[in-house]
């Protein structure tokens, strides 16, 4: 019985979460490393996925920085290695 209730709860959450994410349109995208694509949706969600080392931007701004005023939240894949300069740009 507990498993059935848990399954119903998970399915219910999917019906709530999926429509929220499905309605977001991609407004910009690019890469910030050899295997690190990024996307920014119209709700301000910046997603950086993939694995590997993020480019060291040094004195340059990353290409997603053009949209810094539109970014409301950031998701970083846990397989990404960040440089301290890049961490300062995100935080």
Measured in whole angstroms, the distance separating CA 77 from the mean position of its chain's CA atoms is: 8
Measured in whole angstroms, the distance separating CA 12 from the mean position of its chain's CA atoms is: 24
For residues 46 and 10, the answer to whether their CB atoms sit within 8 Å is no
Indicate yes or no: pTM above 0.75. no
Report pLDDT for 73.
87
**Strand-pair category, 45-48 with 73-76:** parallel
pLDDT tens-digit map of 29-62 = 998 888 889 999 999 988 888 888 888 777 777 8
CB atoms within 10 A of CB 49: 14
């Amino acid at each position: 019985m507990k498993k059935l209730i848990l399954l119903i709860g998970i399915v219910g959450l999917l019906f709530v979460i999926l429509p929220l994410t499905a309605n977001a349109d991609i407004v910009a995208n690019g890469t910030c490393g050899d295997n690190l694509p990024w996307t920014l949706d119209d709700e301000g969600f910046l997603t950086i996925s993939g694995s590997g080392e993020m480019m060291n931007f040094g004195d340059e701004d990353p290409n997603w920085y053009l949209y810094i005023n539109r970014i409301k939240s950031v998701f970083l894949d846990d397989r990404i290695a960040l440089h301290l300069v890049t961490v300062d740009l995100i935080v």
